[in-house]
A and B are shown apart, each in its own frame.
Chain A
Amino acid sequence: MKATCWHGTNDVRVEDVPDPHILNPRDAIVRVTSTAICGSDLHLYDGYIPTMMKGDILGHEFMGEVVAVGSAVKNLKVGDRVVNPFPIACGNCFFCQEEQFSLCENSNPNAWMAEKMWGHSPCGIFGYSHMLGGYAGGQAQFARIPYADVGPIKIPDGLSDEQVLFLSDVLPTGYMAAEACDIKPGHVVAVWGAGPVGLFAMLSAWLLGAGKVVAIDRVPERLQMAKEKCGAEILDYEQVDVLDALAEMTGGRGPDACIEAVGMEAHAPGLLGAYDKVKQALRLETGRPPALRQAIRACRNGGTVSIPGVFGGLIDKVPMGAIVNKALTLKSGQTHVQRYMAPLLERIANGEIDPSFIITHELPLEAAPQAYEMFRDKKDDCVKVVLKPWGDGAVGKVVH
């Protein structure tokens, strides 16, 4: 089959590799019909996630048709159309039974590596480094899904791939980030980063009762999307002083909740931005956190800072004083996707949400190398790329 493989920083190749097969009784194999490049894949592309190896198959946002099931998988059958969640979860351990699926204790075969780095291991994740399991990802024509009796959700007829694909990651991730903010009616929610996760966090903030949503970014087409599709007021951080503007919007108090949907490769204008770029390049910190710092400073006293943005290791100059003295609550975590898929699918099915608006490109799998570069550099107004492993439906640039 064809698969998108990591070969180093800025080096992604589509290779011919063997087809996957069932390795454990609870596995399933799907023929992938749609798969997306996630913003977090760009951290791999840029070489900031350790324990990647040449030849690793990328991709954790994918859906498809079941073509084989292991002997212990009773709830799926060949021919079922499913969306697969990015965290691999066993369903049996303490955390899975608490519905904290991304903290599954059993699904990471290389848990010892993550324990060395973080003290404890989260779940395994498709196509996201050996520290997180070394599982082959779904930017391929076929994918193997472990614990397939727990993860994949069946999709009813009548919904397109484009409508449901993002149940695999970015839609639940945006939703969980907003849910973590404990939004009360009328709350002001500010979201750093108007990429797919940020945009879905904005939509979710409205669903959860926000009174005002503010988007902070610098990419014009993303800010426009935030404004037009997500009803957000927009701030271009290269044009205005974000802290002043947010204070102005909230009578000086600051947003009730701040969502950091940027992660470890944030940009910042001026000296501070340069400072983090140099430190990250020298590996004196593994992430650049200017957006996180700003979210913490902007947040109102007693407010919540929710961090769906991906960080892998260590960051510098976190304003701990602000967190303590303003009595902030920090929330983060890999998304417990399995918990949100069914309720969000219902909202999609009854027309409340149509996540397909973020798609700007639908390309054949072979175009993955160019797609990674385009998405990373935000060229051609790129917000979200869907790859079509079998070529059908690869319409190129999407006009909404």
Chain B
Amino acid sequence: MEFEHPRLARALGWFSLGLGLTQLAVPRQLSRAIGVGENPLLMRGLGLREIGTGVGLLARPRPVNWLWARVAGDVMDLALLGAAMRQQDTDRQKTLWASLAVAGVTALDAFAAMRLGRSLKEGVEAARRERGIPVEHSLAVNRSPAECYRFWRRFDNLPRFMKHVESIECEGNRSHWVVRAPGGTVEWDAEIVEDRPDDRIRWRSVEGSDVETYGWVRFEPGPQGRGCTVHVCLRYDPPGGALGAFFARLFGENPERQIREDMRHFKQVIETGEIPTTQGQPTGSRGLIGRTLAHGRHLS
């Protein structure tokens, strides 16, 4: 029998939800049915776990982790059933059947997780294909095309808003880029290949560079002469190759999002002269989540 794996994951999600709701609603009856002593609090707790996993399975398009969470839950259930076997008030025959049923579901869960897990490899493939594909973004900026052009034309301004760019030194049409990458920096030389004042700039890495890259920016006058729309295209060639790209994506570092945040910072710098921040402001004592996130990128 051929399972289409997302459909199997979804079916298991609905199964989790149904089981969880049953555990919540009629914990005593369910305990009796599987022949174990009544412990409604534990049964309801397990029910909440099932519902959580069920929602996870149904909400995610590729819920590999949630399938493994189901497997872990199954193992926990088997352990509990095993422990129950040693209790006085257990109907051992019923409990044995229940254990066999759980073992069967465990096998199905593990099968589904492994099937879906295999397509993670396809994800790596996708990231490999994506490498070097340019990303584009447009943003309305309340400054004239001329002001934006002048700011951008001095490439040493770019590190002020491009998060991963450590420094750019420029000399005429040539520029030397130093960009942060996992485990160090990468460097290359770029040259401007098209330069139309107040309108557009196009650049690319010089021949023979370690990194092959290019980008362009275009400043389109805004409606009624107000500000402009900045169109940017950058080819991010993620260091670390396809695997690097894949892991970057896992941690939310996808190029589309990066260019959005970089451009937001460009707008903030050119419109207000600074990038608003809360880094370094006082806070009260943080909880566990806060202490963890304080080291992250998004919250302060």
Q: Is B88 an interface residue (CB 8 A)?
A: no
Contacts of B287 in A (CB 8 A): 7, 53-55
Q: Is A338 an interface residue (CB 8 A)?
A: no
A50–chain B nearest beta-carbon distance, Å? 13
B287–chain A nearest beta-carbon distance, Å? 4
Contacts of A56 in B (CB 8 A): 283-284
Q: Are B276 and A106 in contact (CB under 8 A)?
A: yes
Contacts of B298 in A (CB 8 A): 110, 112-113
Contact of B267 among A1, A105, A124 (CB under 8 A): A105
Q: Is B231 an interface residue (CB 8 A)?
A: no
Q: Are B284 and A17 in contact (CB under 8 A)?
A: yes
Given A17-B284, A56-B283, A57-B284, check contact A130 B299 (CB 8 Å): yes
Contacts of A53 in B (CB 8 A): 286-287, 289-290, 293, 299
Q: Are A26 and B274 in contact (CB under 8 A)?
A: yes
Q: In the complex the two chains form, what is the Cα distance from A23 to B286 in whole Å?
A: 21
Contacts of A90 in B (CB 8 A): 268, 271-272, 276
Q: Is B285 an interface residue (CB 8 A)?
A: yes
Contact of A57 among B227, B282, B293, B300 (CB under 8 A): B282
Mask: chain A, 94-111; 1 = CB below 8 Å from B; 0 = not: 100100000001111111
Q: In the complex the two chains form, what is the Cα distance from A247 to B297 in whole Å?
A: 55
Given A53-B290, A112-B261, check contact A17 B278 (CB 8 Å): no
Q: In the complex the two chains form, what is the Cα distance from A48 to B33 in whole Å?
A: 40
Q: Are A94 and B142 in contact (CB under 8 A)?
A: yes
Q: Are A13 and B284 in contact (CB under 8 A)?
A: yes
Mask: chain B, 246-287; 1 = CB below 8 Å from A; 0 = not: 000000000001001100100110011111111111111111
Q: In the complex the two chains form, what is the Cα distance from A18 to B286 in whole Å?
A: 13
- The A1-55 residues at the B interface (CB cut-off 8 A) are 1, 3, 5-7, 13, 15, 17-21, 23-26, 53-55
Mask: chain B, 208-250; 1 = CB below 8 Å from A; 0 = not: 0000000000000000001100000000000000000000000
Among A6, A105, A112, the most chain B Cβ lie within 10 Å of the Cβ of A105
Q: Are A20 and B281 in contact (CB under 8 A)?
A: yes
Q: Are A92 and B271 in contact (CB under 8 A)?
A: yes
Given A92-B271, A94-B142, check contact A109 B283 (CB 8 Å): no
Q: Is A175 an interface residue (CB 8 A)?
A: no
Q: Is A93 an interface residue (CB 8 A)?
A: yes
Mask: chain A, 104-136; 1 = CB below 8 Å from B; 0 = not: 011111111100000000001000001001111
Q: Are A23 and B299 in contact (CB under 8 A)?
A: no
Interface of chain B, main secondary structure: loop
- The A324-340 residues at the B interface (CB cut-off 8 A) are none
Q: In the complex the two chains form, what is the Cα distance from A111 to B257 in whole Å?
A: 13
Instruction: Please tell me the number of chain A residues within 8 Å of chain B, measured between CB atoms.
Output: 48
Q: Are B277 and A23 in contact (CB under 8 A)?
A: yes
Q: Is B55 an interface residue (CB 8 A)?
A: no
Q: In the complex the two chains form, what is the Cα distance from A113 to B140 in whole Å?
A: 19
B262–chain A nearest beta-carbon distance, Å? 12
Q: Are B281 and A5 in contact (CB under 8 A)?
A: no
Q: Are B283 and A72 in contact (CB under 8 A)?
A: no
Contact of B283 among A57, A112, A133 (CB under 8 A): A57
Q: Is A146 an interface residue (CB 8 A)?
A: yes
A366–chain B nearest beta-carbon distance, Å? 14
Contacts of B290 in A (CB 8 A): 53-55
Contacts of A105 in B (CB 8 A): 267, 271
Q: Are B142 and A110 in contact (CB under 8 A)?
A: no
9 closest Cβ contacts across the A-B interface? A5-B284, A54-B287, A55-B284, A55-B286, A15-B284, A17-B282, A90-B272, A92-B271, A18-B282
On A, residues with C-beta under 8 Å from B are 1, 3, 5-7, 13, 15, 17-21, 23-26, 53-57, 72, 88, 90-94, 97, 105-113, 124, 130, 133-136, 140, 144, 146-147
Known: A5-B284, A134-B299, A146-B276. 4 other contacts (CB 8 A): A24-B274, A54-B290, A135-B281, A136-B278
